[in-house]
Structure 1
Amino acid sequence: MLKPRSLVIVVCLWLLIAVTASAWEGHEIITAISLQEIEGLDVILEKTEYTYDDIDQSEYNPEFKIKYIYQDKEYITALDVLIGYSSEPDWGLDTNLELSKWQSLTGGSQGYRHQRYATLWGLVTIGVAPERAQHFYDLALLAYEQGDYYWAYRFLARSLHYLQDMGQPLHALPLPLPQIAFRHKFNIEETTVVASNVHFNLEAFVAHQMREEYDYYTLVLGGDYYDEIEDVNKAAIELNNQVREKAGHQYVLVTMIWPDVLKDEPVTIDHSIKLEHYDRKSMFRLFDIIDETLEETARYSRGLIIKFLEDTGQL
């Protein structure tokens, strides 16, 4: 058993290899499929200007500019806004900030706001994604109460983004501790590169699969069942804790299927290669984890929207 001092050192080394990423690359796909059965999202919204600088006191990237998509559409619905802006927090909203002395352990301010790493049985947590999900949910309610339905759903899309980020296992555990200790022998430079290779290539693989096998993922992500949410922050933490249990196994499977990710240099896997070229058993196990975590993420996504519709008297 590790002594307390040694345990602290291992924890610090583990946190140091955390990488910044966008969690699910396919936020739009996850949102589009998971919310398709929810009634009431076909309401037409009138675009309004952003007027919340005085209300929202959070710090954001000074270079971030509000963008309006769907410029060519005659009208937009609440579902359009939720889908199109579900990736908005990855458009530079949270970059180039000094938020916490701990943010370097998550790769910077982007990682700090989009991840939540917990260790020492939950006594040590780094990252505030659950709080950001709650923050934008509260803003969505406020905007709705003021009759600004467009920004109500746009804020809700941001809240949905951070909640969905908590469904990515590698946003709960960047690298299994045994891998740091035994495979990489506490070489932080090497483990950082490897962790980044695993993280980014897995994300690219999942996004590729969702695009190429869209019909299949309508089955994984679709449906009308959902997890009931009472508190958004707590729900995000709950989802984060659930998928964390799968992170270590997922990491090992990725390294078994694509051993090149273990190189101490950046590696990009060609995901157009046919799946039959890889170890069948390991690939099936990886897909099981991907499908399970995507399904969980979809259930929580529906739960968040149902909660909003109930809280605003639409259900």
Structure 2
Amino acid sequence: MRRLAVASFLLLVVMAFSWSAHETLTYLIVKSALPNANELIQITPYSYEEKRIYNTERLVLDDICGRFVSNFVPAWAKFYPPDPTPIGGRVPVWQVLTVYSVEPDLGMDEGLNLSKLQSIIGNSQGVRHMKYKLLFFDFFEGSESFLYFVEMSREAFRKGDRYWGYRFLARAVHHLEDLSMPYHNAPGRLGDVLESLLWNRNKGMELAYRHFSYDEYLAYLLYLKDEETVKAIVEAQPKRTRNLRELIQRVRLLGLRKLYDVDKMFETVYPGLDKVLSWNDFEASTERLKGLKNITVQIMEEFSCYLKGFLLDFLAQVGEM
């Protein structure tokens, strides 16, 4: 039964969210920031009572290091993290953070009843991965998800369970990465959002295609190892914040402040977008997407500063540094 569950997990990886590139972004940040990134830690079983509910059919709690990247990264990718087989039941810190930074996208939050508003975004997963700001109101639980897994990580480290300390931390990293993306902070410019809600369903689909296409665009830059993007991430210097709430606010502002420019760029280059764009589409539009690339590099550089600062401070607090 355990082997069947892991096999099903890997199949889901191939079929859904397979180009998000969380693992590659996390790998670049962790390897360039953490002094203990190569330290080996012992794999341990899951032994936690959580306050959250999950889709248990999509949640796999066994270790899948060594079987993940080969089933996850698209065939066209030229650059991605290594994924070595555990040695004596031990794996390096960077690998746990890398592999499990993708975990929240693989179905654990799907098919649940989390919010009366989840029908607007189509599923329950978005409830836990987004933090929409419209006018003076915030919707959904993206920032709460980050805080939740930070506390789960802290609990695991208190127990001396370093493997789950880092695995929960990887989930927290995923949610902080999500909060840096413009379309995880608002579905689009206010006028387009109101149009989609009040009278034009097609506009809503176009906004969704822009969202997923921008996720794909970051994956395109990372998987093809765009020199400017990778350099910005690797060379980013840690930035500290006073607390986690300030960290969340600053990361969200990275996306919110660039939302108009990103959305306008998609509207200009891909008017009436009616599909999720692929790397082939981006390759064919390289010259026209220079502005979008510059915006993305700026977001990734600034975000990498904040994530590195958070990781160094948090791991020092829990005795890992």
Q: What TM-score do the two structures reach when normalised by structure 2?
A: 0.81
Q: How many angstroms does 1:179 deviate by?
A: 3.2
Query: Where does 1:106-185 land on structure 2 (aligned, <5 Å)?
Result: 106-120=121-135, 123-180=136-193
* 1:65 has 2:73 as partner: no
Task: Output the amino acid matched with 2:53.
Answer: E
* Distance change in 2, residues 1:102/1:143 (3 Å): same
**Equivalent residue number for residue 38 of structure 2:** 42
Which structure 2 residue ranges, 5 or more long, are not aligned? Answer: 1-15, 67-84
CA distance in 1, matches of 2:142, 2:214: 20
Aligned length in residues: 284
**Equivalent residue number for residue 235 of structure 1:** 247
Match of 1:96 among 111, 120, 123: 111
Which structure 1 residue ranges, 5 or more long, are not aligned? Answer: 1-20
Q: SS in structure 2 opposite 1:272?
A: helix
Q: How many angstroms does 1:211 deviate by?
A: 0.9
Check whether the contact 1:61–1:93 (CA below 8 A) recurs between aligned residues: yes
Identical amino acids, percent of aligned pairs: 24
What's the Cα RMSD here? Answer: 2.4
CA distance in 1, matches of 2:304, 2:18: 14
Q: How many angstroms does 1:209 deviate by?
A: 1.9
Q: How many angstroms does 1:185 deviate by?
A: 9.9
Q: How many angstroms does 1:87 deviate by?
A: 0.7
CA distance in 2, matches of 1:23, 1:239: 24
Match of 1:267 among 249, 261, 275: 275
Check whether the contact 1:117–1:171 (CA below 8 A) recurs between aligned residues: yes
CA distance in 1, matches of 2:17, 2:186: 15
Q: How many angstroms does 1:186 deviate by?
A: 4.5
More relative contact order, 1 or 2 (CA 8 Å, 6+ apart): 1
CA distance in 1, matches of 2:108, 2:282: 36
Q: How many angstroms does 1:172 deviate by?
A: 1.0
Task: Output the amino acid matched with 1:246.
Answer: K
Q: How many angstroms does 1:267 deviate by?
A: 1.6
CA distance in 2, matches of 1:156, 1:103: 26
* Distance change in 2, residues 1:301/1:279 (3 Å): closer
* 1:245 has 2:235 as partner: no
Q: How many angstroms does 1:214 deviate by?
A: 4.5
**Equivalent residue number for residue 299 of structure 1:** 305
CA distance in 1, matches of 2:19, 2:259: 14
Q: SS in structure 2 opposite 1:118?
A: strand
* 1:283 has 2:289 as partner: yes
Q: SS in structure 1 opposite 2:280?
A: coil
CA distance in 1, matches of 2:28, 2:119: 34
CA distance in 2, matches of 1:76, 1:313: 19
Task: Output the amino acid matched with 1:222.
Answer: V
- Over residues 22-68 of structure 1, what are the superposed CA-to-partner deviations in whole Å (9 max), with x where a residue is unaligned? 6981111111111222212222111010000x2x1211113223242
Which of structure 1's runs of 4+ aligned residues deviate more than 6 A? 21-24
- Over residues 197-222 of structure 1, what are the superposed CA-to-partner deviations in whole Å (9 max), with x where a residue is unaligned? 21112222221121113444320211
- Over residues 101-156 of structure 1, what are the superposed CA-to-partner deviations in whole Å (9 max), with x where a residue is unaligned? 23333433211110011122xx3110111111111111111111111000000000
Q: What TM-score do the two structures reach when normalised by structure 1?
A: 0.82
Check whether the contact 2:43–2:163 (CA below 8 A) recurs between aligned residues: yes
* Distance change in 2, residues 1:279/1:43 (3 Å): closer
Check whether the contact 1:23–1:168 (CA below 8 A) recurs between aligned residues: no
* Distance change in 2, residues 1:164/1:307 (3 Å): same
